[in-house]
Amino acid sequence: MHQVRAEQAIDIPRPSPGEAAAEGLAEVAALNALLASLSPDEWRLPTASAGWTVRDTVAHLVGQHVESARPWTIPGKLRQARRRFPGRTALDAHNALQLSEYGRRSPEELRGLLARFGPKAVRARRRSPGLIRRRSFARFFPEEQLPDLTFAYLFDVLSTRDTWLHRLEIARATRRPFVTGDHDGGVVAQVVRDLAQAWSGPPVTLVLNGRGWALGGPEPVAVVRAEVPDFLWHLSGREGSPPPAIDGDLTAADAVLAARVEF
């Protein structure tokens, strides 16, 4: 097995609010650039999110960013979602409400709303006071199992991660190139950190686009290689990406294939 220089994934730091905001603004810009290139027919294509078209996915993202830009509206939206969609988890009901509010908007309207509220949402998350950032959001989404339940994690990690993965979904649904930039590295690093926190398999070195991360201990039994979009797609539970290549102890494959990270 060829040895690869690897950083300890468990030691990856969380981004500061400023770093998270820079990544969030870059991700919103990348999403807007992708949407601007789509034809009207492409907005009707199905995505990997079951039952959602490209337009549905964008409607969800618009809802997320409009609410983040106007955080005082969120408690009322969650109550409304529970009333309108009883029997669903809080997150599923919330997503359903977003689709009901924005799913019938035209592509031009959705793009305009995202261009207007995307940067505002990022700035609002950055401005959130420490008292709020340290609090838990578990009471709003009690069914969700996450490695960190603070608003800081929601603002600085999950918000941009969710947008990133949905942009990848849209790119794959429309067969458009998935354009990456400097900010993607921050998104990937936080996914790898969360993977390391939950890792229960044997020690391995994970190599994503040439960068190595140590999972599970200092003496790896295998090297796992994959392209970033394919591996994060797999970690999200979506199907269709090629399996990672494994060099070394093939028993590590079971842990790799079973690994999941919340997006």
What rounded mean pLDDT belongs to the chain?
Answer: 95
167 and 189 part of one domain = no
Mean pLDDT value of segment 206-211: 94
Indicate the range of 19-28, 53-62, 170-179, 249-258 predicted with least confidence: 249-258
136 and 225 part of one domain = no
Dihedral sign of CA atoms 131, 133, 139, 140 in order? positive
The DSSP H or E segment spanning 13 is: none
Q: Is residue 263 part of a domain?
A: no
Quick one: which of 167, 186, 149 has its CA closest to 262?
A: 149
How many residues appear in the chain? Answer: 263
For 68, the token pair is: 């983040």
Q: Look at residues 150, 183, 216 and tell me which one is the last residue of a structural domain.
A: 183
Q: pLDDT confidence of 2, banded at 50, 70, 90?
A: low
3 state DSSP class of 136: strand
For 2, the token pair is: 């060829």
Taking only the tens place, the pLDDT of each residue in 73-107 is 999 999 999 999 999 999 999 999 999 999 999 99
**pLDDT of res. 10:** 95
**pLDDT of res. 193:** 98
206 and 146 part of one domain = no
Q: Is residue 1 part of a domain?
A: no
240 and 179 part of one domain = no
Taking only the tens place, the pLDDT of each residue in 102-141 is 999 999 999 999 999 999 999 999 999 999 999 999 999 9
**CA–CA gap between residue 61 and residue 191 (Å, rounded):** 20
pLDDT over 70 at 153, yes or no: yes
To the nearest 10 degrees (0 to 180), the angle between helices 107-127 and 17-36 is: 170
Q: Is residue 2 part of a domain?
A: no
Q: Look at residues 183, 207, 231 and tell me which one is the last residue of a structural domain.
A: 183
168 and 65 part of one domain = yes
Mean pLDDT value of segment 47-54: 94
**CA–CA gap between residue 211 and residue 185 (Å, rounded):** 10
Mean pLDDT value of segment 232-241: 94
Residues spanned by the domain of 219: 7-11+185-258
Taking only the tens place, the pLDDT of each residue in 183-196 is 999 999 999 999 99
**Are the C-beta atoms of residues 194 and 78 closer than 8 Å to each other?**
no
71 and 201 part of one domain = no
**CA–CA gap between residue 12 and residue 239 (Å, rounded):** 27
Buried b (16+ CB within 10 A) or exposed e, 44-78: ebebbbeebbbbbbbbbbbbbbbbbbebeeeeebb
Q: pLDDT confidence of 6, banded at 50, 70, 90?
A: confident
**pLDDT of res. 58:** 98
Q: Which amino acid, one-letter code, is at 158?
A: L
The count of domains in the chain is: 2
Quick one: which of 240, 228, 236, 234 has its CA closest to 256?
A: 234
Q: Look at residues 145, 162, 183 and tell me which one is the last residue of a structural domain.
A: 183
Q: Which residue do the tokens 């686009």 mark?
A: 209
pLDDT over 70 at 56, yes or no: yes
Q: pLDDT confidence of 218, banded at 50, 70, 90?
A: confident
For 122, the token pair is: 């990022």
**Are the C-beta atoms of residues 22 and 229 closer than 8 Å to each other?**
no
- DSSP track, 101-125: HHTTS-HHHHHHHHHHHHHHHHHHH
- DSSP track, 68-98: HHSGGGHHHHHHHHHHHSTTS-HHHHHHHHH
Residue 111: CATH number of its domain:
1.20.120.450
51 and 93 part of one domain = yes
